[in-house]
């Protein structure tokens, strides 16, 4: 095992310090005195997290904030820790990962703590370690040691036990997400909010937005440290972190991007689509056979065959490219059936279109996500000239490529050419006449698939409400009306 | 950037909104599209979702703070110009507006010339940048 999953990590003790300022008489009196104010004051307490790896420290800050509602400072240097310990008056907890720091540096932190606070050791300080002798001099009880070797889960248990009272009183509606980690967390399933000085939360990024380094840089310059996600959306994030702690910590340690749409969630999304737009077993089997045929067709040309794995949702990760194809394909077939076009030829046409519509982007599958003008304008500065050319021509290029394969149904090339032909579509052009019915079905399925992929709490009703102005005439309106009937 | 000027008007008093809606096109000789809101949440939702060039907002929106809109616009980085609207000209309020980066202050009850001056300021800023950006392509 590597990274956080490395068992050696568990030899590193992690101390939780429950801190009471020296002018308070005792732990008990503190709580009695403040019980009535706890709910109100809970927001004002702070947590200091000292971790050599800032991103991993931020992971602990997310868990702490989720369970306690307390605000966290994450630092990766002892100098900064010392400064915060000196300056801040509302610290309630210090979390220290000793790994990577010299013993003398850790001792300095403890000296700062001792100077400022009464420290209640023994009963109140869980220590997560496999080595009970290690750093014993700092006091504390060994708890959760070696329990399934799951450091983050053990930390969560310690936090829950330690802050039982605050947890029951944590009525925060939002989870704070530190800015640096947002470059590594993708598809969180909810909008991101900014907290104004007045305490009001206002929308800053849509759930489907791609957050860039430039965004983070601009906000940091304005001294913003966190963005916020609604707590109802945050629960899934926390579950994913706790259930996949090895993968999550390994990815963060290697500075990779974590996709929070999991294969399991994709499965659930597909199940819900089946409930809303049911297809019989035979029809589903027919789609599966067409998918196999489409993949065999793609295999015809060697330069594409090596990318075949990108067309399938991997068991370990629901990447955008494959998930988008899978969702679009299922939705297009379901919608065609609703429109009375569920015959085998029509289904074959829509399956092939789904699998070929972004084929010119297969070498750069991450570009497929930039499919609206708004996203493109936002991302333009981070794209190369080649990326931009590829993106802006991908509908035509993919259409041309589809003609090179043998056995691709008629009309697939023209549906591909039109697949972004809506107001904010990245390659949108004003159509000379009405958009043909199959193109309309595919355009709406394509749009709906993104809505479902990026949205944890999606409903067809909300989609229709959001899009009624975009699909306001001709065949696009016809398809939307059919969906509306279904919803009724 | 679009052709006309897109303005968001926010006031919890309907008569003020109506006055602005009538007077603004009257005193300005360029194309202006206006979107009126009586509360902060609806206004900020609109500002987030749509391209907007300027916002004219009351500072005291019932129990809400119009100053939040200024702060929000500055975070959005969309180049939105903001004009404050209030009958409260206390030092504290004016300082808050200045610190929040408000470009102009309209004192209630306002005169036609004041409205024109404020909107012209937004328009000139908008046209200046529009020309620069257009030339760059």
- Beta partners for A96? A15, A50
Strands (E), A251-400: 258-259
B71 touches chain A (CB under 8 A): yes
**A65 and A214 housed in the same domain:** yes
> How large is the average pLDDT for residues B62-78?
86
A216 touches chain B (CB under 8 A): no
> Are residues A194 and B75, on separate chains, in Cβ contact within 8 Å?
yes
* Smallest Cα distance from B68 to chain A, Å: 7
> How large is the average pLDDT for residues A392-417?
93
**A238 and A95 housed in the same domain:** yes
pLDDT digits (tens, 9 = 90+) for A443-488: 999 999 999 999 988 999 999 998 888 888 899 999 999 888 765 5
**A190 and A309 housed in the same domain:** no
Strands (E), A58-160: 71-75, 91-97, 117-119, 126-128, 141-142
The token pair that represents A467 in the structure block: 């899009």
Q: Name the band, by pLDDT with cuts 50, 70 and 90, for residue A7.
A: very low
Whether the Cβ atoms of residue A461 and residue A487 lie closer than 8 Å to each other: yes
* Smallest Cα distance from B72 to chain A, Å: 7
Handedness of CA A467, A469, A474, A477 (dihedral sign): positive
**A253 and A274 housed in the same domain:** no
> Are residues A218 and B77, on separate chains, in Cβ contact within 8 Å?
yes
Distance CA A317, CA A241 (A): 14
* Smallest Cα distance from B98 to chain A, Å: 16
**A233 and A311 housed in the same domain:** no
Q: Which residue has the higher pLDDT, A347 or A2?
A: A347
Q: Which of B44, B67, B77 sits opposite A202 (nearest CB)?
A: B44
Which CATH class, in words, describes the domain spanning B5-136? alpha beta
B14 touches chain A (CB under 8 A): no
**A280 and A405 housed in the same domain:** yes
**A170 and A31 housed in the same domain:** yes
**A225 and A277 housed in the same domain:** no
Q: What integer pLDDT is reported at residue A134 of this predicted model?
A: 53
- Check which CATH number belongs to the domain holding A336 and give it: 1.10.3210.10
**A211 and A327 housed in the same domain:** no
**A195 and A271 housed in the same domain:** no
> Are residues B71 and A196, on separate chains, in Cβ contact within 8 Å?
yes
Give how far Cα A20 sits from Cα of A114, A117, A313, A436, Å: 11, 6, 51, 70
Contacts of A198 in chain B (CB under 8 A): 65, 67-68, 71
Q: Count structural domains, chain A.
A: 2
Average pLDDT, chain B: 88
**A52 and A186 housed in the same domain:** yes
Mutate to test the interface with A, among B72, B79, B80, B97 (most CBs of A within 10 A): B72
Contacts of A200 in chain B (CB under 8 A): 40, 65, 68
pLDDT > 60? residue A272:
yes
Handedness of CA B47, B50, B56, B61 (dihedral sign): negative
pLDDT > 50? residue A124:
no
**A59 and A171 housed in the same domain:** yes
Range of the domain at A149: 3-259
């Amino acid at each position: 095992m590597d990274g956080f999953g490395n068992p050696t990590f568990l030899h590193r003790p992690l101390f939780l310090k429950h801190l009471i300022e020296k002018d308070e008489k005792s732990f008990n009196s503190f709580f009695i005195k403040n019980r009535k104010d706890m709910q109100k004051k809970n927001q004002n307490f702070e947590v200091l997290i000292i971790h050599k790896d800032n991103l991993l420290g931020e992971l602990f800050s997310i868990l702490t904030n989720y369970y306690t509602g307390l605000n966290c400072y994450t630092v990766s240097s002892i100098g900064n820790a010392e400064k915060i310990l000196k300056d801040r008056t509302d610290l309630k907890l210090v979390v220290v990962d000793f790994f990577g720091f010299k013993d003398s540096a850790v001792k300095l932190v403890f000296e700062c703590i001792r100077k400022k606070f009464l420290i209640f050791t023994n009963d109140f300080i869980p220590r997560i370690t496999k080595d009970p002798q290690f750093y014993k001099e700092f006091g504390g009880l060994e708890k959760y040691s070696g329990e399934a070797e799951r450091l983050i889960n053990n930390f969560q248990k310690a936090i829950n036990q330690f802050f039982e009272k605050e947890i029951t009183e944590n009525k925060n509606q939002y989870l704070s997400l530190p800015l640096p980690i947002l470059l590594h967390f993708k598809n969180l399933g909810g909008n991101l909010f900014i907290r104004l000085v007045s305490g009001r939360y206002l929308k800053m990024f849509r759930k489907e937005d791609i957050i860039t380094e430039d965004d983070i840089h601009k906000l940091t310059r304005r001294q913003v440290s966190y963005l916020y996600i609604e707590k109802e959306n945050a629960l899934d994030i926390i579950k994913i972190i706790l259930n996949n702690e090895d993968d999550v910590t390994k990815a963060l340690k290697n500075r990779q991007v974590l996709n929070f749409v999991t294969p399991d969630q994709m499965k659930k999304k597909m199940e819900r689509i089946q409930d809303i737009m049911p297809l019989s077993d035979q029809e589903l089997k027919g789609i599966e056979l067409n998918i196999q045929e489409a993949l065999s067709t793609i295999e015809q040309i060697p330069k594409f065959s090596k990318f075949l794995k990108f067309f399938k949702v991997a068991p370990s990760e629901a990447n955008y490219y494959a998930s988008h194809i899978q969702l679009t394909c299922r939705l297009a077939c379901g919608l065609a059936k609703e429109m009375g076009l569920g015959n085998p030829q029509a289904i074959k046409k829509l399956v092939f279109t789904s699998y070929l519509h972004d084929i010119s982007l297969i070498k750069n599958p991450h570009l497929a996500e930039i499919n609206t003008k708004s996203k493109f304008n936002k991302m333009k500065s981070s794209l190369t000239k080649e990326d931009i050319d590829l993106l802006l021509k991908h509908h035509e290029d993919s259409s041309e490529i589809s003609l090179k394969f043998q056995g691709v149904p008629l009309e697939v090339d023209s549906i591909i050419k039109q697949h972004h032909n809506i107001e904010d579509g990245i390659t949108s052009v004003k159509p000379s006449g009405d958009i043909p019915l199959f193109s309309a079905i595919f355009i709406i399925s394509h749009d709906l698939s993104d809505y479902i992929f990026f949205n944890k709490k999606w409903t067809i009703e909300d989609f229709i409400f959001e899009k009624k102005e975009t699909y306001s005439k001709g065949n696009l309106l016809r398809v939307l009306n059919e969906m509306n009937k279904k919803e009724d | 950037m679009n052709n006309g000027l897109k303005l968001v008007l926010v006031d919890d008093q309907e008569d003020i909104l109506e006055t602005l809606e009538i007077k603004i096109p009257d005193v300005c000789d360029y194309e202006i599209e206006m979107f009126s809101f009586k509360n902060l949440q609806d206004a900020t939702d609109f500002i987030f979702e749509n391209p907007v060039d300027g916002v004219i907002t009351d500072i005291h929106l019932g129990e809400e703070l119009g100053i939040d809109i200024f702060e929000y616009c500055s975070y959005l980085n969309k180049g939105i110009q903001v004009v404050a609207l209030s009958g409260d000209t206390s030092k504290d309020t004016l300082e808050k507006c200045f610190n929040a980066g408000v470009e102009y202050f309209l004192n209630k009850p306002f005169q036609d010339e004041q409205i024109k001056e404020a909107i012209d300021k937004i328009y000139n800023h908008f046209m200046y940048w529009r020309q620069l950006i257009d030339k760059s392509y």
